[in-house]
Structure 1
C-alpha cells in the first residue's frame, strides 16, 4: 500500500475531486464552531468592522471577506447585521464549493486580489496542509500515511522553521511544520490594501507545543483518527507565534478577551424579568448561554484572534 507524505494526502483528502470540501461537505455537519452557536460572533465581527470603517474614514466601498467560509453562516450573519454601513458594505464568502448564501452575498473560490476593509479567516489556517514529522532515534523523519490512516516514517527532514519554532528534543515527539501556513497568512495580509486581516483558530506557542502534535480528524460531530480518505475533516492547530511573526505587527488575544473588548458580554437577565416578561427572560437567558459557550476558555473561548492592521491603526482591545 502506497504511503504518500502527509501534505499530499491531506490536500487530496480535503480538496481533491473526492475530497471532504470539494464534494460540498459542510463543517456544520461534523463539528461545532463559533458561527454555529448564534449571531453573537457576527455581532463582534460587525463591531470590529465598524472600527475598521472609522479608521479608513468611511470609504465608498467597505469589504468583508470571509476566507474558508464553510457553510457561509458567518458571511450571511454579518451581511444581515451590516445595515449600519448602508450600501457601502460588500460581503464575499471564499470557499471551494459555493455554500447556500443569501442574495447580496458574493461567492468566489479564489482569494481576492485586493481588499479595503476586513478579511477574516475563521478556522482556515488549521486546514492548510503541512508536513508532519517525528523524532526517531535522534533524527527528524517525515511521517507518511496511507488512505486508511496507516502511518510509516520516511526520509530524514531538515527544516529551519522546525529549528526555530518547534525543535524536537525527545524521541517520539511530533510536529507539524508550519511554514506553508506562515506564507499563506502573509500572502492574505498583503492582499489588504487598507484595513485589517483577522485569523481565528485554535493554536499553541513555543514552550507549550503538544508532544504528539495536534493532527486530528472530525466526522459527524466526533473527533476521529485523521484518515485521509475524504470522509472527515483533517486539521492541526496553528503555531500562532510563527504565523504572527510572518505578517508584521499584529495583535494577538484569546476569543474570550476579544469578545469582551468588542462588547459581547455574558449578562444573565434579571431574575424578576421571568415573571414580568417570560419570553424576554428566556431570550436573554439563551443569549447569555450562547455567549458563555463562545467565551468558555476550555472550549470556543480558547480560540486565538490574530489581528494584523494595514495602513490604519486598528485594535481589538482598544476602541
Structure 2
C-alpha cells in the first residue's frame, strides 16, 4: 500500500484520527492564537461585498464564532465533510490542504523517483501525471531526496474553486515555493501539541507543507502572499499602545497591549506570519 492511502486511512478511515479527535487538542493555528485573525477575515469579506463565509476544515468552529459575532453568515465544513455542489461567498480553507493526503516520492540510487510505501520504503516508479508534477514543481536532485507530490492538493483546490458561484476562495497554509523546497520533504505528525513521527496508524495527525505556487497555478489569476503581508493589509498591527494610556485609561491600555501581543504572534515572520495565502490577484 502506498503511503497516501495509509495516510488517508489513518486520518479519515473508520478508526482514523479525525474520527476521534478535535484539531485544537493537538495543534495551534491562527484561529486559536487570536480573534484578530477572524476579524481580519471578516474585513476581507466585507471589502469584497460578501456576507457569507464558508470555513473548510472548520474544526470546532472557532473561526465561525468570531465571524458570526461580526455579523456574517457562516457555513462550517469539517475536514471529512462532503462539499456542497455550489459554494457562495468567501471560502476560507485555513490549514485544510495540509491534511489532504498526497503521494510521497523519493529518488533512488539510480536517480529514479519512486513512490513511498506505507512503511516509507521505496515502491513503484513514479509516472504519469505525478511525474509531470514532480518535474515541474519539485524536481529531485540527489538520491534520498523526498517530495510530497502536490497534485491531490491542486485538484482539491481546483474542485473548490470550480464550485464557486458569486464568491472568492482563499487557501491559507504553511508551505513553500519551488526555489525553497526542503530536500527531504516536510511530512510530520502531531500529538498532544507536540511534533511526533508520522506513523500512519491513526494515533496522530499527519501533515505536510503545501506547494503554494503549484496551488496558485491551477486557478486563473492565482497568487501567493505571506500571512504577515495579508494581515497587515487587513489592518492588523503589533504596535504597542502609548504608555501614557496606562495612566489615563489603564484597562484600555492592558486590552490594547494584549491585542498587540496576539497580533505579534499572527505576524511573526518565523511563525504564523510565514504562512502563505493563495488568493485571486488583486483581492488584497
Decide: shared fold, TM above 0.5: yes
Give secondary structure in 2 for the equivalent of 1:110.
coil
Tell me which residue corresponds to 1:210. 182
Residues 189 and 308 of structure 1 are in contact (CA less than 8 Å); yes or no, is this contact kept in structure 2?
no
Q: Does the 8 Å CA contact 2:4/2:118 hold for their aligned counterparts? A: no
Name the TM-score, length of structure 1 as normaliser: 0.85
Alignment of 1:207-246 (within 5 A): 207-246=179-218
State the Cα distance separating 1:156 from its structure 2 match: 1.5
Q: Matched residues in 1 for 2:207 and 2:112: separation?
A: 25
The secondary structure found in structure 1 opposite 2:117 is: strand
- Using the alignment, how far apart are the partners of 1:171 and 1:119 within structure 2? 40
Among 55, 62, 75, the residue aligned to 1:92: 75
CA RMSD of aligned residues (A): 1.4
Whether the 8 Å CA contact 2:79–2:96 is kept in 1: the answer is no
Structure 1 counterpart of 2:125: 156
2:45 to 40, 49, 54: 49
- Whole-angstrom distance in 2 between the partners of 1:45 and 1:299: 19
Pick from 63, 66, 82: which aligns with 2:55? 66
Consecutive unaligned residues of structure 2, counting only runs of 5 or more, are none
Indicate the residue corresponding to 2:265 in structure 1: 293
- The within-5 A match list for 1:1-319 is 4-23=1-20, 25-53=21-49, 62-82=51-71, 89-96=72-79, 109-137=81-109, 138-146=111-119, 151-158=120-127, 159-308=131-280, 315-316=283-284
The answer on whether the counterparts of 2:105 and 2:148 sit within 8 Å (CA) in structure 1 is: yes
CA drift at 1:22: 1.7
Q: How many equivalent pairs are there? A: 280
Aligned mates of 2:183, 2:18 — CA distance in 1 = 29
Q: 1:110 and 1:275 mapped to 2: Cα distance?
A: 54
Q: Once the two structures are superposed, what CA deviation does each residue of 1:124-170 show, in whole Å capped at 9, x if it has no partner? A: 11110001110011111111124xxxx31111112111111111121
- Unaligned 5+ segments in structure 1 are 57-61, 83-88, 98-108
Q: Distance in 1 between matches of 2:68 and 2:10?
A: 31
Deviation of residue 38 (structure 1)? Answer: 1.6
Q: CA distance change for structure 1 residues 63 and 114 in 2, over 3 Å: closer, same or farther?
A: farther
Q: Distance in 1 between matches of 2:203 and 2:61?
A: 21
Structure number with the higher helix fraction is: 2
Deviations 1:44-75 (A, max 9, x none): 1001000121xx7xxxxx32100011121011
